[in-house]
Amino acid sequence: MIVLSGTIGAGKTSLTTMLAEHLGSEALYESVDDNPILPLFYEDPKRYGFLLQNYFLNKRLDNIKDAQGSQLNVIDRSIFEDLLLFKLNADLDRATQTEVQIYGDLLNNIMEQVDFSDDAIVKTPDLLIYIHVSFETMLERIKKRGRDFEQIANDPSLYNYYKSLNERYVAWFDSYDRSPKLSIDGDQYDFVADESAAKEVLALIDHKITELGLKGN
């Protein structure tokens, strides 16, 4: 499977759709608009943060199971990013360090318990694609898509949260070593608004897929 990663507003969902259509594979999406916990989290992150992480963990595992059967199926968020997000919430006093420890142990235990046999669920992606955008682009995209609970105008504390998130993603991707990876410059290639940029991004991914010898079933 191919997994997308990146900050809020990076364009993961859009690229997931484009890439799956381009490859003739299946797209599997993060639960956001139909997520009953997410609005509650933005209202009271310390109360609902741990619940939200476990909700996402369950959904990520469903996506991984559903993606089995083709190396070219596309998931729009990696399960390996969630601990990064939760650690940031704790560092900003939006969750507790104890909750982070419990969640991290749960995640590790789940990932270790899945069998590696040929008939088992494949946990790690065949390719992880990271969409990097600048902090300024991130803020513009968040404002443009207009989800009320994400807007800094409604909660000024989100500015520091978004800034720290963007910085930590760079370090996270640099240290990621669980699978082959590819970085896409989301500022240079505005693949959502620019058709020629979209074609260039798909060509970069095609080259990487060929290099890795991936193919659908």
Residues carrying an active site annotation = 76
Helix or strand (DSSP H, E) at 104: helix 97-113
Distance CA 12, CA 32 (A): 12
Q: Which residues are annotated as a binding site?
A: 6-14, 30, 42, 53, 77, 82, 141-145, 150
> Cβ distance 96 to 45 under 8 Å?
no
CA distances from 131 to 15, 38, 95, 137, 139 (A): 9, 23, 26, 12, 15
Q: Which residues are annotated as a binding site for substrate?
A: 30, 42, 53, 77, 82, 150
CA distances from 108 to 62, 111, 113 (A): 17, 5, 9
Which residues are registered as beta bridge partners of 81?
Answer: none
Order of strands across the sheet that contains 74-75: 27-28, 74-75, 2-5, 127-132, 181-185
Instruction: Give long-range contacts, CB 8 A cutoff, 24+ apart: 171-174.
Output: 172/81, 172/84, 173/5, 173/130, 173/132
Task: Return all residues near 167 (Cβ < 8 A) that are at least 6 apart.
Answer: 135
Residue 74, amino acid: V
Helix or strand (DSSP H, E) at 3: strand 2-5
Q: Which residues are annotated as a binding site for ATP?
A: 6-14, 141-145
